[in-house]
Amino acid sequence: MYRKLTIVLALFIGLLLFQQAALAQDGPTGQHTASVWDVSYWNNKTLSGNPVVETVESKIDWDWGTGSPSGLPSDDFSARWTKYIDVSGGTYRFTATADDGIRVYVDGNRIIDEWNDHSVLTFTADLTLSAGHHELVVEYYENGGFAVSKFSWGPKPNDIVNWRGEYFHNRTLAGSPSLVRDDANINFNWGNGVPAPGLSSDNFSVRWTRTINFPAGNYRFTITGDDGVRLWVDGHLLIDKWFDQAAATYSDVIHLSGNVPIKMEYYEHGGLAVAQLSWALDSGNPPPPPPSGAIVIDNTSPGFVTGGAASSWRSSTAGYNNGMIWTYNNDYARSSYNWARWYPSLNAGRYEVFVFIPSKNATTTSARYWVSHRDGFTLRVVNQLAYSDQWVSLGTYWFRGSSSEYVSLADVTGESYLSRLVGFDAVKWESR
């Protein structure tokens, strides 16, 4: 009796192991999934009544030609396949090929609906799934002629060949994107409309990314936004206008060579929506010359001196007279910093003071210029990011014409450490 009980128990355990093996195996790219489909076949086109055949099948990959599944007529039959899958979270592509009608459900939601007579056609649907358990149902009918029913699924392939556009249901690019698509260009004027079905006309944001190969040269990037826009080129925050605004256009120049990553971010708050980006080789026009009689001290002039860590200074061919120097910004907590002074040779009198802001390597929004003049010291804070190859006035002052009068600038800006570039170029004094 004990022997019989042992045999029965062994058979029972073996059956359980067999059922577990039949119900689960590794699916596409390692997802845990049921290995077989539960299948029902009907001898009509409408899946109605009791099925005439119920079985299991390892896959849906049928080309019956002018035939049919065993036990069914060659025309006017239908089928339903059902199984469960366990997946990692992500976007998946579902592909169905049929002659005639086919429809596909995921968790009860119909994602492919081609329930009509047609020759062999293939249909796809992309769906983002949460990690975990999901039900797949495929339904099919055959009317006449050839009979084909095929179905597969797997992670969505990376088919972005232009700009990867990630669209969010909020203004802060937060969470997972509601839509990811291939945008041929960033040249959108949505007006009061929506950027895509399913998104609202207001309170959305977009991130575009792409890598592009540039022959060596200086390139001017131009962006237009309503509302906020910002642009990174080769890891450098070139343009930063992240605030509500009517459609406004900004540009800046940067030297590029080879494969360069580009990222543009945009948000829409309300009203009209515009997001545009373009670039071209910079014409290289020289900066406007100072008026006759102006005193100019450039970064290569005898009256220009620097201090701080020599290894922190960097030079560039951008700027006034095709030359400037720059550093990454420092912060107040550090004892060492870099600074520069421009000492003019002036006659006593009243002068307006200008600084030249180059189109490149000047991204701080808080360049702190000190003007030493007859009546003391005056601080002027300049947003270098807002200008490109332009003279910017620091105001008009009386000068004694002594060697103790100058303009100074340090790389301490109050911004996050090493987050911005501080440009040091030319300063001029115009008699008033």
In this predicted structure, what is the pLDDT of residue 124?
Answer: 84
| Mean pLDDT score, 368-375 | 94
| Mean pLDDT score, 152-168 | 85
Model confidence at 341, pLDDT cuts 50, 70, 90, reads very high
| Mean pLDDT score, 208-223 | 91
Question: What is the spatial distance between Cα 33 and Cα 26, in angstroms, rounded to a whole number?
Answer: 6
The region of weakest confidence among 154-158, 255-259, 300-304 is: 154-158
In this predicted structure, what is the pLDDT of residue 335?
Answer: 63
- In eight-state DSSP terms, residue 322 is G
Share of the chain above pLDDT 90, in %: 53
| Mean pLDDT score, 189-196 | 89
3.30.420.40, 2.60.120.260, 3.20.20.140, 3.40.50.10470: CATH of 295-431: 2.60.120.260
pLDDT at 171 over 70: yes
Residues 107-154: pLDDT tens digits? Answer: 999 999 999 998 888 888 888 888 889 999 999 999 988 999 999 988
More confident residue, 28 or 413: 413
Question: What is the spatial distance between Cα 107 and Cα 262, in angstroms, rounded to a whole number?
Answer: 38
The enclosing H or E element of 18 equals: helix 2-23
In this predicted structure, what is the pLDDT of residue 30?
Answer: 35
Q: Where in the chain is CATH 2.60.120.380?
A: 163-281
Strand partners, 379: 370
Residues 7-43: pLDDT tens digits? Answer: 444 444 444 444 444 433 333 333 445 679 999 999 9
| Mean pLDDT score, 177-191 | 88
In this predicted structure, what is the pLDDT of residue 292?
Answer: 58
Question: What is the spatial distance between Cα 190 and Cα 185, in angstroms, rounded to a whole number?
Answer: 14
| Mean pLDDT score, 77-81 | 96
In this predicted structure, what is the pLDDT of residue 199?
Answer: 82
Buried b (16+ CB within 10 A) or exposed e, 390-402: ebbebeebebeee
**Average pLDDT along the chain:** 86
Residues 296-334: pLDDT tens digits? Answer: 999 999 999 999 887 889 999 888 988 999 999 987 666
In the chain, the amino acid numbered 96 is: A
Kindly indicate whether the domain formed by 163-281 is annotated with CATH number 3.40.640.10: no
Model confidence at 285, pLDDT cuts 50, 70, 90, reads low
In this predicted structure, what is the pLDDT of residue 38?
Answer: 94
Question: What is the spatial distance between Cα 320 and Cα 332, in angstroms, rounded to a whole number?
Answer: 29
2.60.40.420, 1.10.1050.10, 2.40.50.140, 2.60.120.260: CATH of 22-155: 2.60.120.260
In this predicted structure, what is the pLDDT of residue 35?
Answer: 78
| Mean pLDDT score, 165-178 | 88
Instruction: Find out whether 270 and 204 touch, Cβ atoms under 8 Å.
Output: no
Q: Where in the chain is CATH 2.60.120.260?
A: 22-155, 295-431
In this predicted structure, what is the pLDDT of residue 283?
Answer: 67
Q: What is the pTM of this model?
A: 0.39
| Mean pLDDT score, 173-196 | 87
- Sign of the CA dihedral 186, 192, 197, 200? positive
